[in-house]
Structures are given as structure tokens and as C-alpha cells.
């Protein structure tokens, strides 16, 4: 563990977004040292999750990164006899529920205010919230 604070990690994720990463890539790549994967691999794995799974009608990319990170943290990798799905699902759900409680929606379109003209939370805020939630729920300092 690098000892990076949640606030510093959120700044790093927003800097990734400013460079052109989508929201999922920005969040996932901010946790590179927690995953055992390099930045390029995380970037590729999460590319299809941006823009609400590519259509704005799906889950916000920023918090969808929690599902990928939950699997990377909780999965035992037992392909012959999968035994860790429950832990991964629970970790992912915990992050999504915290994000929903904080922002009032999980849907990209609603968060961005595409239909109402009034965003619930712009992308940089969603990225910041997702990083802080994931940091607290999945990778708390021990």
C-alpha cells in the first residue's frame, strides 16, 4: 500500500479524467497499486464502462469501477470451483449503495442532468465520490 490519502487519490483520478480518461478509467487507474495490475491494463479493462456503459443509460462509469476493483480485491481466481463471487458482489454492492445514497442516482444520464438540464453531480464530483467510497469500503488503511 502506498499510503496515499483518499483526497490525494481523488485528485489523481480527476487529473486522469482531465487527460482524457473516461470516468471508470480515471477511478480504476487511481487504485493501480492496490490491484496488482499496471495502469495500461486497468485502462483497457474499464474502457467500455465509461459514459454509463457507453450509452448514458447505464451505471455511472466512476462507480462502476467499484465492480471491477471489488473483483480484483475479493476474487480467489478459482476458475474450477468459483468460491468468491458472494464476497465480490457484496463489496461492489456496498460501494454502489453508498454512491446512490450520496448522489441520489447511479445512472449516468440522471447524474449529468441530460434530460432535466440540472446535473445531480457532474463527472468530476462523481469521480471524487467514487474514489472516496472505494478507498473507504475496499481499501481502508489497516
Q: What would the pLDDT profile of 75-122 be if each residue is shown by its tens digit? A: 999 999 999 999 999 999 999 999 999 999 999 999 999 999 999 999
Angle between helices 85-103 and 123-137 (to 10 degrees): 140
What pLDDT is stored for residue 6 in this prediction?
A: 82
CA dist 32 and 23 (Å) reads 15
pTM of the model: 0.94
Residue 141 has pLDDT above 70, yes or no: yes
Please report, for the chain, the start and end positions of each structural domain, with discontinuous segments joined by +.
6-137
What pLDDT is stored for residue 54 in this prediction?
A: 85
CA dist 29 and 6 (Å) reads 14
The secondary structure element, H or E, covering residue 102 is helix 85-103
CA dihedral of residues 106, 107, 110, 113 (deg, nearest 10): 100
Report phi then psi at 107, rounded to 5.
-85, 130
Average pLDDT, the chain: 94
Candidates 58, 66, 54, 71; CA nearest to 26 is 66
Quickly state the pLDDT bin for 142 (edges 50, 70, 90).
Answer: very low
Residue 2 has pLDDT above 60, yes or no: no
Amino acid at each position: 500500500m502506498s499510503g496515499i490519502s483518499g483526497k490525494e487519490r481523488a485528485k489523481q483520478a480527476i487529473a486522469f479524467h482531465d487527460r482524457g480518461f473516461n470516468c471508470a478509467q480515471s477511478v480504476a487507474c487511481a487504485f493501480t497499486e492496490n490491484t496488482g495490475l499496471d495502469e495500461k491494463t486497468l485502462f483497457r479493462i474499464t474502457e467500455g464502462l465509461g459514459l454509463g456503459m457507453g450509452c448514458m443509460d447505464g451505471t455511472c462509469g466512476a462507480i462502476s469501477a467499484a465492480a471491477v476493483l471489488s473483483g480484483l480485491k475479493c476474487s480467489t481466481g478459482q476458475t474450477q470451483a468459483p468460491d468468491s463471487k458472494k464476497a465480490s458482489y457484496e463489496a461492489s454492492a456496498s460501494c454502489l449503495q453508498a454512491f446512490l445514497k450520496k448522489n441520489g442516482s447511479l445512472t449516468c444520464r440522471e447524474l449529468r442532468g441530460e434530460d432535466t438540464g440540472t446535473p445531480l453531480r457532474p463527472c468530476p464530483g462523481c469521480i471524487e465520490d467514487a474514489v472516496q467510497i472505494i478507498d473507504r469500503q475496499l481499501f481502508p488503511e489497516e
